[in-house]
């Protein structure tokens, strides 16, 4: 008998205990990575386009890390808002061992060493033009000299104590170069989570406000970030980053690219993470503010969708809220 009425799929949905028993996917605080913005100022700075998210001074970042630990969130991701007078054409502040990022990493590893620290490798928080790399006279972001800078930036972060290096720049070849440099420097256990399939997206706007690059950005990032039309190319990006030594790969943005997550997971069987980016967070918050949706339901449903698609974990600005809902 394989048809109605012998078969009624509603039977297993009829009560809460049964729905729990039949759940194919679970979401726990251990699936979450919490992105945090650092300010050089000495007070919390709310970010208007990311309601509910603030930049924090280093001490505030340490407090957030304690909160993450208490909520069962294993890892935080750091992004600095570099003071304008420390930004430059080449983004050299990225290499300063005493920059905001490195000060935060050291404070975190000193105070809350049990929480993983993931650091973004790309030059956009440090450049006066808002691009992720070095720009030539024609405005083109140059690959190979940028990659050299990124290697130095990654070593700088690793020396400060970063646990996971996450290159978000989309330069060709940088994962292999960073891996080789980390090995040569004795950082054998510093992981690389490659932003492998990162798309040129309209969903990054609030993030650029948060790191102070939005007003500065000249043009767009289409000559290095991926075209939203492409899926096969994402698989090539992932294959290359894995061959170069990435420990895990990321797909970004998140929800609009869940098809990519599924393909990567099925093809490679490696740890895949997704970044539910700033514009996705803002979309949920706008929906809540407009009375169109309910925050808790939207947060849990979208995060579960990432798990169902095959993600090992999700970077989300809703991490602490979600972990609280999950009752850690």
Question: Which residue lies nearer to ligand PBG by CB, 132 or 244?
Answer: 132
Tokens of 205: 């706007």
221 is annotated as an active-site residue: no
Q: Residues 87, 221, 252, 307: which is the catalytic one?
A: 252
**Shortest distance (Å) from residue 155 CB to ligand PBG:** 18
Question: Which residue lies nearer to ligand PBG by CB, 82 or 278?
Answer: 278
| Contact call for residues 238 and 197 (beta carbons, < 8 A) | yes
Residue 171 exposed, middle or buried by CB count within 10 Å (0-12, 13-18, 19+): buried
Residue nearest to ligand PBG (CB): 207
**Shortest distance (Å) from residue 66 CB to ligand PBG:** 23
**Shortest distance (Å) from residue 279 CB to ligand PBG:** 6
CA dihedral sign, ordered 219, 224, 225, 227: positive
Q: Residues 198, 218, 222, 307: which is the catalytic one?
A: 198
Q: How far apart are CA 317 and CA 295, in angstroms?
A: 13
CA dihedral sign, ordered 141, 175, 122, 319: positive
Question: Which residue lies nearer to ligand PBG by CB, 191 or 201?
Answer: 201
**Shortest distance (Å) from residue 48 CB to ligand PBG:** 15
252 is annotated as an active-site residue: yes
Question: Which residue lies nearer to ligand PBG by CB, 169 or 247?
Answer: 169
Q: How far apart are CA 78 and CA 58, in angstroms?
A: 11
Q: How far apart are CA 294 and CA 296, in angstroms?
A: 6
**Shortest distance (Å) from residue 263 CB to ligand PBG:** 22
Question: Which residue lies nearer to ligand PBG by CB, 58 or 141?
Answer: 141
Rg of the chain over CA atoms, in angstroms?
20
Task: Give the number of C-alpha atoms closer than 13 A to the C-alpha of residue 182, restricted to the C-beta side.
Answer: 27
DSSP 56: E
Question: Which residue lies nearer to ligand PBG by CB, 60 or 91?
Answer: 91
Q: How far apart are CA 35 and CA 117, in angstroms?
A: 10
Residue 186 exposed, middle or buried by CB count within 10 Å (0-12, 13-18, 19+): exposed
Residues that bind ligand PBG (CB under 6 A): 120, 122, 124, 132, 168-169, 204, 207-208, 221, 277-278
Pairing of the two strands 54-56 and 45-46 = antiparallel
Helix (H, G, I), strand (E, B) or coil at 164: strand
**Shortest distance (Å) from residue 221 CB to ligand PBG:** 6
Give catalytic residues, as residue numbers: 198, 252
């Amino acid at each position: 008998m394989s048809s109605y009425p012998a078969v009624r799929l509603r039977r297993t949905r009829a009560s809460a205990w049964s729905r729990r028993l039949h759940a194919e996917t679970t979401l726990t605080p251990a699936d979450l990575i919490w992105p945090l913005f650092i300010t050089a100022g000495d007070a919390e700075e709310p970010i208007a386009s990311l309601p509910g998210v603030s930049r924090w001074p280093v001490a505030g970042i340490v407090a957030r890390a304690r909160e993450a630990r208490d909520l069962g969130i294993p890892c935080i991701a750091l992004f600095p808002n570099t003071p304008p007078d420390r930004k430059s054409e080449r983004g050299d502040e990225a290499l300063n061992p005493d920059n905001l990022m490195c000060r935060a990493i050291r404070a975190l590893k000193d105070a809350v060493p049990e929480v993983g620290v993931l650091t973004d490798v790309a030059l956009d928080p440090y450049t006066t033009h808002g691009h992720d790399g070095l720009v030539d006279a024609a405005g083109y972001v140059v690959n190979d000299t940028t990659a050299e800078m990124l290697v130095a930036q990654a070593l700088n972060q690793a020396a400060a104590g970063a646990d996971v290096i996450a290159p978000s720049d989309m330069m060709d070849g940088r994962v292999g170069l960073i891996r080789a440099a980390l090995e040569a420097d004795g950082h054998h256990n510093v992981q690389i989570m490659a932003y492998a399939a990162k798309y040129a997206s309209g969903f990054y706007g609030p993030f650029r406000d948060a790191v102070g690059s939005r007003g500065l950005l000249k043009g767009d990032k289409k000559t290095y970030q991926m075209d939203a039309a492409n899926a096969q190319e994402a698989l090539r990006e992932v294959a290359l980053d894995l061959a170069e030594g990435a420990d895990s790969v990321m797909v970004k943005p998140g929800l609009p690219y869940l098809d990519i997550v599924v393909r990567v997971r099925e093809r490679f069987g490696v740890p895949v993470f997704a970044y539910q980016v700033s514009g996705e967070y803002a979309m949920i918050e706008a929906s809540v503010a407009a009375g169109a949706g309910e925050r808790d339901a939207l947060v849990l449903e979208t995060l579960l969708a990432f798990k169902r698609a095959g993600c090992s974990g999700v970077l989300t600005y809703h991490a602490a809220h979600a972990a609280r809902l999950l009752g850690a």
